[in-house]
Amino acid sequence: MDHFLYRNGQLFAEDVPVAEIAASVGTPVYIYSTATLLRHFGLFDQALAGMPHLVCFAMKSLSNVAVLRVLGQAGAGIDVVSVGEYLRAKAAGVPGERIVFSGVAKTREEMRIALEGGIRQFNVESEPEMEALSEVASALGVVAPIAVRVNPDVDAKTHAKIATGKSENKFGIPIAKARGVYARAAALPGIRVVGIDVHIGSQLTDLEPFRLAYRKVAALTEALRADGHQIERLDLGGGLGIPYERSNAAPPLPEDYGRMIAEEVGHLGCEIEIEPGRLIAGNAGLMVSEIIYVKEGEGRDFLILDSAMNDLVRPAMYDAHHDIVPVVEAAPGAEQRAYDVVGGICETGDTFARGRMMPPVKAADLVAFRSAGAYGAVMASEYNSRPLIPEVLVDGDKWAVIRRRPSYDEMIARDIIPDWL
Ligand code: LLP
């Protein structure tokens, strides 16, 4: 459920007409709904209510500081994967004790900044990383709390580019080697084992792969405890999928996911951490775009938009589906036409949808891409020298620009012509 609904034939973001924002800020623009963000965070929080837990929003999905402030004020923790993300979480006011640091490529400098600023735990992905962290923490005279990310070798049954839990993926340490790695961790200065971490992939629409992975983590918890390690926390990762196509069967709900977690690991008495990104942010965002031209091709009509793959790359990168709806609702029973919906970038990959059935639209009409809150703005680039598009946050009848559109001068001024030219 989200808060982008038609009222009297006009698409609204909560209590604000989308067309009003577009007229004021221009298009393309991302629009986020506070109520939807909070609702989805709350669903996870409630789903784990029977266990000590922390829901850590995976901010890679949507990293605007204003959005982080909304979730942080609601009590969310944050999962970060770079020191840039760490500093954004801090800028949003999230305390270090609610920030977990994931990622395979943490540098010593990143470790130092997080240790100095305060951190709940590092999710360590390899032995070399563990040794580096031990050195950095020891040099600072502090102890770094760690969970080791294990790779359970489970098929997440999702798009290959976003599956992470198979042995051929670069993530985590093979679960079969975990006992040896934990033994090594116990012997290293400057680090303290607090738990186990696992994350098998994103946009999972079935609970079974999670269940298999969590079952393996439960068995490992018992084995590690028998070896004398303190396993107090289980970080079970993110990955629960969302319904991108309203016509498709709905994926499991956070409630079902929470129940399965309780079944698989509830008996261990651990504090549960999860790292959802997409389910919190995905349906909390729209990307709104204007139709520049409608072009009749041979046997197909092209809707040419003022947004492009640089603004929302998911269709080009993962063949992802996003519902595209007119901002002015079509009359009931209006005929549908097939359009190829494209951006203006000079490659054919810049296609949002092929043969998409939509009510007839015309140049200067606005359309909204649904489910664009997660992995939308964060993956945008300036390809073709198109400045990053603005972001707007709505809360009830209030709205504000939370990232403004840079001017062309600002974009160009970042380049430096060397003095020999
Ligand atoms: N935790 C870790 C360690 C992750 O790598 C990820 C996502 C998450 C949590 C959050 O997963 P979520 O709940 O959002 O599924 N750009 C791709 C998605 C990449 C996901 C990467 N890792 C897309 O647009 O589909």
Residues 6+ apart with CB under 8 A from 225: 231
Please report the atom of ligand 1 found closest to the CA of residue 375: 24
CA 254 – CA 259 distance, rounded (Å)? 9
Contact predicate 278/79, CB 8 Å:
no
pLDDT for res 247 = 75
Residues 6+ apart with CB under 8 A from 384: 308, 310, 344, 345, 346
User: Which residues, judged by CB distance below 6 Å to any ligand atom, belong to the binding site of ligand 1?
Assistant: 58, 60-61, 79, 102, 162, 199, 202-203, 237-239, 275-279, 314, 318, 374-375
Please report the atom of ligand 1 found closest to the CA of residue 241: 15
Amino acid at 25: V
Domain ranges of the chain: 4-31+282-413, 103-274
Span 70-83, pLDDT tens digits: 999 999 999 999 99
Using alpha carbons, select from 158, 159, 104 the residue that is nearest to residue 127. 104
The answer on pLDDT for 109 being more than 90 is yes
Fold (CATH) for 4-31+282-413: Lyase, Ornithine Decarboxylase; Chain A, domain 1 (2.40.37)
The answer on pLDDT for 1 being more than 80 is no
How many residues are given for the chain? 421
Region 407-420 average pLDDT: 98
Pocket mutation for ligand 1, best pick of 44, 169, 278 (most atoms within 8 Å of C-beta): 278
**Span from the CA of 292 to the centroid of ligand 1 (angstroms):** 33
Confidence grade of residue 167 (pLDDT, cut at 50, 70, 90): confident
Q: Where are the beta strands (DSSP E) in 279-390?
A: 285-296, 301-305, 324-326, 337-342, 351-358, 366-369
CA 209 – CA 155 distance, rounded (Å)? 6
**CATH class of the domain whose range is 103-274:** alpha beta
Measured from the Cβ of residue 394, the count of other Cβ atoms closer than 10 Å reads: 25
**Span from the CA of 419 to the centroid of ligand 1 (angstroms):** 43
Interhelix angle 127-140/178-187, nearest 10 degrees: 20
Per-residue tokens: 224: 């590690």
The answer on pLDDT for 194 being more than 80 is yes
pLDDT for res 286 = 98
Q: List, in sequence order, the alpha helices (H) in 1-58.
A: 18-25, 34-47
The distance in angstroms from the start CA to the end CA of the chain is 56
Q: Are strands 144-151 and 173-174 parallel, antiparallel or unpaired?
A: parallel
Residue nearest to atom 16 of ligand 1 (CA): 375
Residue nearest to atom 7 of ligand 1 (CA): 202
Q: Is 56 a catalytic residue?
A: no
Please report the atom of ligand 1 found closest to the CA of residue 61: 14
E strand or H helix at 226? helix 208-226
Region 137-161 average pLDDT: 94
pTM: 0.97
Q: List, in sequence order, the alpha helices (H) in 7-126.
A: 18-25, 34-47, 65-73, 83-91, 108-117
Span 299-325, pLDDT tens digits: 899 999 999 999 999 999 999 999 999
> Tokens 């994103």 map to which residue?
202
Measured from the Cβ of residue 233, the count of other Cβ atoms closer than 10 Å reads: 23
Percent residues over pLDDT 70 in the chain = 100
Contact predicate 398/39, CB 8 Å:
no
Mean of pLDDT over the chain: 97
pLDDT for res 325 = 97
Please report the atom of ligand 1 found closest to the CA of residue 379: 16
Looking at residue 171, what DSSP letter applies?
S
pLDDT for res 355 = 97
**Span from the CA of 352 to the centroid of ligand 1 (angstroms):** 21
**Span from the CA of 203 to the centroid of ligand 1 (angstroms):** 8
